[in-house]
Amino acid sequence: MSTNSDRFYVVTGGPGSGKTSLIAALRSRGYNSTVEAGRAIIQDQVAIDGRALPWRDPLHFAELMLSMDMQSYRLAEQSVGPVFFDRGIPDVLGYLRLMHIPVPEHMHNAARAFPYNHVVFAAPPWREIFQQDQERKQDFDEAIRTYDALVERYKSHNYELVEIPRASIEERVRFVLGKVGIDPGV
């Protein structure tokens, strides 16, 4: 593994599991992070009445997510210290699995060419915080299926998944930082 992949930590999970809130809390503490590709793409595609939306053209949506995730990776290579990714490239493969769409070989190649730390943080489905919104149209049952598909994809790429506890944002921040060997402080 390269030095970069050692410091690149993915936070994955189904929709509405608190991933983005956790990433925002890490960012507020000064840690480098990325934005979730899917949400950004949906917002942009809706604004322009584009077709690369999960409910219009899921493969095109996946291609744009892959492109954005590779760009996020390249930008992260220019930073110093740990970087927390709001999803990683294997999430795209998990999404296609969930949609019953065969994963193109170039996407498998991308998952191998852009490695992350072998420890991946998985935010489990959490009914009490789950909410639908403009971009998140899935129901809770689909959030569970998404989580299962993502976990399977990361495991198939030899990542070790560490489940994030269902706890307050601050407790989740302390948990993640402790697991990566950073003193989370008080």
| Each residue's pLDDT tens digit, 2-29 | 567 899 999 999 887 889 899 999 999 9
Question: What's the rounded Cα separation, in Å, for the pair 115 and 111?
Answer: 7
The 10s digit of each residue's pLDDT in 16-66 is 788 989 999 999 999 999 998 998 999 999 999 999 999 999 999 999 999
CATH number of 3-179: 3.40.50.300
Task: Tell me whether residue 174 is exposed, middle or buried, using C-beta atoms within 10 angstroms of its C-beta: 0 to 12, 13 to 18, 19 or more.
Answer: middle
Domain boundaries along the sequence of the chain? 3-179
What phi and psi, each to the nearest 5 degrees, are found at residue 147?
-55, -45
Neighbouring residues of 144: CB distance < 8 A, sequence distance ≥ 6: 14, 125
Q: Would you say the pTM of this structure is higher than 0.75?
A: yes
